[in-house]
Structure 1
Amino acid sequence: MELIFEIVWVIIVEVFGKYITDSITKDVMVILRRSKFMESFFSVIGYIIFGSIVGYVSMLVFPKFLLKNHSLQMANLVFIPIISALIICFVSNWRKKLPLFKIEFEIFISAYVFAFTVSFIRYCFLDITKPFW
């Protein structure tokens, strides 16, 4: 039960955090539209920064891993960002009224970078035996 709860919690945090990050960074990206490389570069940096913030805030809510097994923690680090990025792509396509299973590479990569950063911050700073502070 704890496994399912943590998986659902992490996915919900990553999906909502990504949409909050998109709404904040949309205005900044208008300025950076001059160069596609600069736009992509600063977009990735922004997702890493906001992913770190969301990862830290999620540690305030759950200061310990619910998963005690190290193998499950590694699986959480590897697979949950992929699942979260796919869900974000599906929601994006649903909002744009596109076919749900059409995955746009740029949206997937930005969502994956954000979700992986959240999971990585949680993995690095949470210890099984003590709170992170």
Structure 2
Amino acid sequence: MEVLLEVVLQFVGEIALQLVIEFLFELGFRNLGAPFSRPASPLSKTLGYILLGGVAGGMSLLVVPHLMIQNGWLRMANLVITPVTAGGIMWFLARKKVRKNAPLVALDRFGYAFFFALAMSSVRFLWAS
């Protein structure tokens, strides 16, 4: 039972770290994006979020230099579970924003949030101690 709780808490920690960073990026894009009103293509947005996710993953290693998940195969599972969960949470929160008529940013869409989290978790997977 303790092992299961430990595994769940490790996944929750990794997901929480990625969500906090995604929310910070979303706030930044909402405030900085207004002057740049020309819409970007979906491909360039996707590549941009992959790049930003990689940068965020590298920056997160400065704050939390080790993976919270210690087991090797669970680290591999984290590469799928965390991006899907982060994308789903961002999509869910976007639905709430739509109901309140709040403005959306690209990171509010599942795909962009997924690729951001995938790049971030990949960098953390490859470079964490």
Q: Report the TM range for the smaller structure's normalisation.
A: 0.7 to 0.9
Q: Name the structure 1 match of 2:62.
A: 60
- Count how many residue pairs are aligned between Structure 1 and Structure 2: 116
**C-alpha contact (below 8 Å) 1:2/1:66 kept by paired residues:** no
C-alpha RMSD of matched pairs (Å): 2.4
CA offsets 1:20-58 (integer angstroms, 9 cap, x no match): 32343451784432xxxx421221122112211221222
**Gapped regions of structure 2 (runs ≥ 5):** 101-107
Q: How does the TM-score come out when normalised to structure 1?
A: 0.72
**C-alpha contact (below 8 Å) 2:11/2:78 kept by paired residues:** yes
Q: How does the TM-score come out when normalised to structure 2?
A: 0.74
Measured in 1, the distance between the counterparts of 2:24 and 2:41 equals: 18
- 1:22 partner amino acid: E
Measured in 2, the distance between the counterparts of 1:69 and 1:53 equals: 25
Q: Which of 10, 21, 27 does residue 14 from structure 2 map onto?
A: 10
**C-alpha contact (below 8 Å) 1:88/1:108 kept by paired residues:** yes
1:76 and 2:78 are equivalent in the alignment: yes
Q: Name the structure 2 match of 1:20.
A: 24
